[in-house]
Amino acid sequence: MTDTILLAGATGMLGSRIAHHLLALPKARVRMLVRGSVSKTEVLKPLVDSGAELIEGDLNDAASLDRATRGVDVIVSSVQGGPEVILDGQVALAKAGKANGVRRMLPSDYALDLFKATPGEHAMFDMRAQADAQIAEIGLEQVNILQGAFMDMFLPGHGAIDADAGTISFFGDGELPIEVTSVEDTARMIARVALDRDVKPGKFAFAGERISFRQAGEIVARITDRPIRPMSMGSETDLRAAMANASSEKKVMLAYLLYMTNGQTALTDLQNDRYPDLRFERFADFIARSLPIAAHA
Ligand SMILES: NC(=O)c1ccc[n+]([C@@H]2O[C@H](COP(=O)([O-])OP(=O)(O)OC[C@H]3O[C@@H](n4cnc5c(N)ncnc54)[C@H](OP(=O)(O)O)[C@@H]3O)[C@@H](O)[C@H]2O)c1
């Protein structure tokens, strides 16, 4: 049975990989909702050449959402942005989908377990939880994909690891294991789940690996053959104090660190074995594969 999947966010970092993996599956007809497609031919052309249909539109344009959702079975959203995108935009997309008989939606969650966050503590998690609650009110079934952090966060220069200083920094003792997954495996899994009618609505969690900041530093040090010194920036109390005085942008970054320090949003009930042919890349392999690219970038 073929399903028509509408993908919102196909020009994005994660979305372009979801499109690629959807198009590789025999039972998917792929439609992409894209704004300003003319300027994005480099990303879109290979997808269209592989059979994807392109609908020009915008989450803020209701008529385009009606056009885009007609005849669609499943909506996959990988959009990114502020409340006008994640909340208003995704809810408008869900409404259009519901009106046109869409079966279910995978909203743009893709994180640690944002549903376990304390409201008011993490603006990005709050926004997604609110959007998902409103989508539920509309009556559209949803599957919430949770894969933890992307492994990229431990690439030198991406935040935690300062290659020049030779340090990996964190709050707390750096020993807490955190779920991490590669973008590629996340996209591959999203494509499979989107087409799997037997997946139950609700959270769908998986992870490439559980790894602590200290372990990540050791692995990167081994692969780069350069020492990386673990460096605690303080306790959870210090982190919370920093959040209280931070700008809203900085507070979001610290909020991610908060939940990687106290484990509050750790993933449970991992469904890693749902598709036996799908095996996840290990963190060490990801680093070995990515570092030449990261160094080049
Ligand atoms: N767990 C993690 O470590 C982690 C890390 C990174 C991202 N993520 C999550 O992954 C998801 C995707 O992130 P990303 O980094 O792939 O995002 P991205 O590269 O910024 O792409 C965002 C996509 O959303 C589209 N978009 C934004 N506003 C739109 C609108 N009004 N109408 C239609 N399309 C719109 C963009 O289209 P245009 O090309 O037109 O701008 C683009 O295709 C997000 O939920 C993000 O939080 C998770």
180 lines ligand 1 (CB under 6 A): no
Query: What is the β-pairing status of strands 209-211 and 178-181?
Result: antiparallel
Q: So what's the pLDDT on residue 38? A: 74
- CA distance linking residue 205 with residue 149, whole number of Å: 12
Q: Tens of pLDDT along 104-163?
A: 999 999 999 999 999 999 999 999 999 999 999 999 999 999 999 999 999 988 889 999
The closest residue, in CA terms, to atom 40 on ligand 1 is: 35
Angle between helices 90-99 and 62-69 (to 10 degrees): 50
55 lines ligand 1 (CB under 6 A): no
Q: Which domains does the chain have, with CATH numbers?
A: 3-148+181-207+266-274 (3.40.50.720)
Q: So what's the pLDDT on residue 293? A: 54
Which of 42, 80, 184 maximizes ligand 1 atoms within 8 Å of its Cβ, making it the mutation to test the pocket?
80
Q: Which residues of the chain have pLDDT under 70?
A: 292-297
